[in-house]
A and B are shown apart, each in its own frame.
Chain A
């Protein structure tokens, strides 16, 4: 079992008396994995990050990061983590390079070391040519890459990414995904990210927690979450001889007949690909001919919608938050 680098125990946070933004959330993140929080707007993702990164105090509960308690050893926690927030926080009036160096001094990294790392990061994130320009002139993708560079300057053990691809176009998003994988694979960094894009959680995260209305409602690998829906769906159509093969199909292991319409059958399978071959084989052995078949795997989206419900969320965010979001989106468009 790999070591847990983040351990959250019963984290809750109220805003005022009425808003329970995070509700008794407990989880662990293993060393070196990409862990994702997936949830709709206002689910409590940012609030959780803020508590883990010592920016907000939990109302109840606590967490340990790298073995340090976020409440009692905040300074130690801060020196082994780094955050790339949801908003663009780089100073518009400074150049990209100045922003990175500013971050470096916040971690008291010596000047010469900081310079060398800044050059490396600017190169890695393809920002070299823009590093001397004021951030004001950056496009959304460049801003996001600059935020990443600033977040990496202290070589954190745990990097927190809050909606790292919010508002970016598909190309830039793919590039950001590439960097995130690189950090895990080459540097063995642990990443805690939040997103409300399903495909992002599915393709990047080793494990995903689905959070809704402040509650962590499901936790597992993307494959486990899909499997929790009850497996793959197979639809077959056989040559019509007027016989009902439901019973014979039901007797096959890992198969469940859930519907029949004339000569069409709808089956639920676990381990769809392997079982499908057996299903077709036994239909043949019983002297029937398969005309058509399809196998659909549920998406993480299906799992997600089943867990969080289909209705849209009227965001109850305050004026301040919606303003921040609009600003982030506007800047992302560049």
Chain B
């Protein structure tokens, strides 16, 4: 018996799988609302209620030195982008574990869709979702009083978009790579919780690195979240230092590349068990 098999594009099915993932989010108003409300609450509570600037009236020189701006709200709102990206991409690993548990993954594995496409669709969905949520947070922060720095130019927004893309791509790949062999979501959840706190708090997302104890500074300086946040602040709040921005982008680029590659290579090895 001889059958001719239609030749297929390596990435066929990518759009459909990505869209499946995104539909769960954009077709469910409650999920959409919940995914936005959390960072907004954080901005409101941390940025407005804990008005650090207000604690030291007249100490704007010190604020400037520690935070790079006198406006803690803006400092912290930009940090929230990273927060949003970390927590959104975390779900890409989670949804992978669920797909395995519910049998959907096995079903897809028995179709001609390539292993790479399965992984990449998760990454794409996470990147699109994380980036758009971060942009919504930016809009809300603007409405609540975020002020751009003196060196800001609208073109810088494209830079921020690129930062978000790289950070989301790298982080989602990291989380998916961790999830690739996991069958129990409890295990995955535990690992995620272990990772999330240092990713957020051992970074400059909420608090400047210089003010941290030495050992924490070491971690924070290796943390991709720090570079992403630093780059976004440079682009939006600070008088954009080209050299710093370049360093941040190189670090983020390498981070994203390494983990995206790792995810894809592991998918060849481990998806068919």
Contacts and interface: CB of A to CB of B under 8 A. Distances in A.
A324 B1 CA distance: 37
Contacts of B20: 91, 94, 102
A75 interface: yes
A328 B215 CA distance: 50
A50 B108 CA distance: 12
Given A91-B20, A93-B23, A107 B3 contact: no
Contacts, number: 102
Contacts of B3: 66-68, 76, 80, 157
Contacts of A103: 111
Interface stretch (A18-26, A51-59, A175-183): A51-59
Contacts of B12: 105, 108
A55 B271 CA distance: 8
Interface string A308-334: 000000000001100110010000000
A87 B103 contact: yes
B178 interface: no
Interface in A91-120: 91, 93-94, 98, 101-103, 105-108
Interface string B1-35: 11101101100110111001001100110000000
Most B CB within 10 A of own CB, among A31, A75, A88, A101: A75
B106 A55 contact: yes
B104 A91 contact: yes
Number of contact residues on A: which range applies? 35 or more
B101 interface: yes
Contacts of B107: 83, 85, 89
A86 interface: yes
Contact of A55 (B6, B16, B110): B110
A79 B8 CA distance: 10
Contacts of B113: 106
Given A79-B6, A108-B13, A56 B23 contact: no
Contacts of A106: 13, 16-17, 108, 111-113
Contact of B101 (A81, A102, A324): A324
Nearest to A147: B107
B183 interface: yes
A195 interface: no
B258 to A, nearest CB: 27
Contacts of A87: 102-103
B244 interface: no
A86 B103 CA distance: 8
Nearest to A154: B111
A125 interface: no
A5 B1 contact: yes
Contacts of B273: 56-57
B6 A93 contact: no
A82 interface: yes
Nearest to A99: B20
B193 interface: no
Interface string B86-115: 000000000000000111101111111110
Contacts of B65: none
Most B CB within 10 A of own CB, among A66, A67, A102, A320: A102
A78 interface: yes
11 contacts: A66-B1, A74-B272, A75-B8, A75-B112, A79-B8, A105-B13, A106-B17, A107-B112, A154-B111, A323-B101, A327-B102
Interface of A: 3, 5, 31, 50, 53-57, 66-68, 74-76, 78-83, 85-89, 91, 93-94, 98, 101-103, 105-108, 154, 157, 319-320, 323-324, 327
Interface of B: 1-3, 5-6, 8-9, 12-13, 15-17, 20, 23-24, 27-28, 101-104, 106-114, 183-184, 272-273
Q: List the 5 shortest-distance A-B pairs measured between CB atoms, nearest first.
A: A105-B16, A87-B103, A106-B111, A53-B110, A108-B12
